Chains A and B, each alone.
Chain A
Amino acid sequence: MPEEVALAKEVRALARQIARAVKKPVQFMEVCGTHAHAVGRLGLRQLLPEKLTLLSGPGCPVCVTPTGEIDWALELAATPEITVATFGDMIRVPGSRQSLADLRAQGANIQVVYSPMQALELAVEHSDRQWVFIGVGFETTAPTVAATIQTAARQGADNFSVLCCHKLIPPAMRALLAAGEVRIDGFLAPGHVSAILGLEPYQAVADEYHVPCVVAGFEAHDILRALLALARQVREKRAAVENEYERTVRPEGNPLARAVMEEVFEIVDARWRGLGVLPQSGYALREKYARFDAVRRYGLRPSNAGEHPLCHCGEVLRGVRRPLDCPAFADACTPEHPLGPCMVSSEGACAASYRYERIGK
């Protein structure tokens, strides 16, 4: 307990420093669902000065997955000979007509797993069925999926494949700045993604758009320290890449993990919910691993499925609309009856606001 008291003291001291550093109104954006949830769970917005707005961006991998790709997962799950293995996060995300949870209640074979390797193990164990792992995630998750695909290839696990919906965070950051739809004075860069990527990919963002990027961890003091660093850069009119999560993130990232991804995936143009098609922003399986690609194996056709007409997830993901300002929030859209993924994914910005921040609503 004394440890916690000391921590609370440090956090309040950081909050005071931030208040002193922020002279003019500033708008910072986090691009990591874990940050969004930590901010809500810890009530950090209450510690920030009024002049500092902290926005959520496209940092929840399930949320940025477009409806068309969700529909692919549903199409696969509805196929009798296929068992779909997925992180629990995807289960209740609505596609254009229903969710995996609805399909499972109708008898579809859907297995929640904690890792892609667990999905492969299940496939090997139950080799009489086809298994498809739904690969959703940023640079944090993609390496473990790539490694699983390598293992499947070595083992000749021909009843295993991956629906690859993986995406890259830096292209989305650049796309937001290029669009200029929302003012972003600094990025709180994601801790886990940076542990893989290192700091280099943010340099282009900082240089090209003169916007500072500071990598942050997930404790209260990590996040506030990074916000303080951003505030100071803004005050000093600097735009540098800084690392406030040094205990986990090395400047060079994790070259080994990147090499595994490089071997298995190629970088392709990808469609994002709310952002449209962004050049060079997604991963796809290389030709060499084509037989593990569920899209090719099952001949999945691109779909133009749109979002629910009342759903504003796209604007939430671009930072244009804050969850609490969405007309559907806690009204037409709740965790029990979500219109879009931001309300139901465990990393979604709306889910975080709904769970933790509805105090005035």
Chain B
Amino acid sequence: MAERITLAHGGGGVQMQELIRRELLPACDETLGRALEDAALLPGAERIVLTTDSYVVRPAVFPGGDLGRLAVCGTVNDLAMRGAQPAYLSLGLIVEEGTEIELLRTVMRSVQKTCVETGVKLVTGDFKVVEKHSGDGIFANTTGVGFLRSRSAPSVSRARPGDKVLLNGPLGQHGVAILAARGELTLQATVESDCAPLSDLVEALLEAGGDGVHTLHDPTRGGLAAALNEIAQTAGVAVEVSERNFPRDPGVEGACDLLGLDRLQVANEGKLVALVAPEVAEPVLEAMRGHASGRQAALIGEALEGPAGRVTLRTVLGTRRIVDSPSGELLPRIC
């Protein structure tokens, strides 16, 4: 039987990692190495950082954001995770026949506004229309170019045993907001997506922590669980986080309990996890808390010697459990 793509291959979890390694990486330049970073440093163009991302979120407009804001923030954030100052953006749109022009206007207004907010310039683009049913509303792709702020870029491979794990706010807001916007659940509390640019937060954090900031990673699809597993596997460390220290959002927690979702696996669009040398943890945390996107920032855990690749959670009861990378399709078209 011919092997086919399933939604699980897009879930941000184990199957997606497997597929990328097996089918996509072989075509990539070998200097990329095995680490799957949020953005690439370019050999021969030492300060330039490049990334690309596609956005297929359904619905295109949701509480706390829309496709346009997401398409700018997502790419800006991927650049920021390598310590780059985002500078230029391209935008490609694939629009389904029959889509209302007003939706396109909404998306473009958001793109423009978010570009201004982040100081990034939209400099080139592409526009395609496909027949009805060949797409769904608007799909977007943005490519971002940024410039490294310092010589040593944070990397998922640089995490070291003893590093402290910092998180800038409560988990799961984007995923729950999208689910609610789809009308697939009735929630008492309104949850807004955390969709936000993180480049300013990263700037503040790097200023405070300098070279001691080893790893920055944004826990989007697959949530914190996938992000920490990627870090632990790539850097060859274990990571333990403590539930008691997590920033809280009761609305999201209630919704997750109701739906049986693990908020560690739910998508975020305005969160970052930082692994920093212990001596800079306090100043970095303080810098994060001084920033709008980091008011609830907290030290949630620590990187350990091993076993390499293992992520565990210390529960509020004091017990320990594995934090696994999500498997299968959690929520298709979450971003």
Contacts and interface: CB of A to CB of B under 8 A. Distances in A.
Given A7-B316, A335-B14, A336-B327, A101 B8 contact: yes
Interface string A12-36: 1000000000000000000000000
B8 A92 contact: yes
A43 B323 CA distance: 12
Given A8-B316, A336-B18, A356 B6 contact: no
B4 A43 contact: no
Please indicate which of the listed interface residues B6, B310, B318 has the most CB atoms of chain A within 10 Å of its own CB: B6
A346 interface: yes
B319 interface: yes
Interface residues of B, number: 28
Nearest to A221: B317
B312 A359 contact: yes
B99 interface: no
Interface stretch (A102-110, A141-149, A205-213, A225-233): A102-110
Please indicate which of the listed interface residues B7, B8, B317, B322 has the most CB atoms of chain A within 10 Å of its own CB: B317
Contacts of A336: 8, 14-15, 18, 327
A355 B322 contact: yes
Nearest to A105: B4
A92 B6 CA distance: 10
Contact of B5 (A46, A105, A358): A105
A11 B6 CA distance: 42
B1 interface: yes
Nearest to A34: B260
A1 B244 contact: yes
- Majority-rule SS of B interface residues: loop
- Majority-rule SS of A interface residues: helix
B129 interface: no
A254 interface: no
A357 B322 contact: yes
Interface string B204-240: 0000000000000000000000000000000000000
Given A102-B6, A114-B185, A47 B322 contact: no
Contacts of A41: 262, 315, 321
B317 A47 contact: yes
A104 B5 CA distance: 10
B191 to A, nearest CB: 17
B4 A220 contact: no
Contacts of B132: none
6 smallest beta-carbon distances between A and B, as pairs: A43-B319, A335-B327, A105-B4, A356-B321, A46-B319, A105-B6
18 contacts: A4-B316, A7-B316, A40-B321, A46-B320, A88-B329, A92-B8, A101-B7, A101-B328, A102-B1, A104-B7, A105-B4, A106-B4, A346-B260, A355-B322, A355-B324, A356-B322, A357-B322, A359-B320
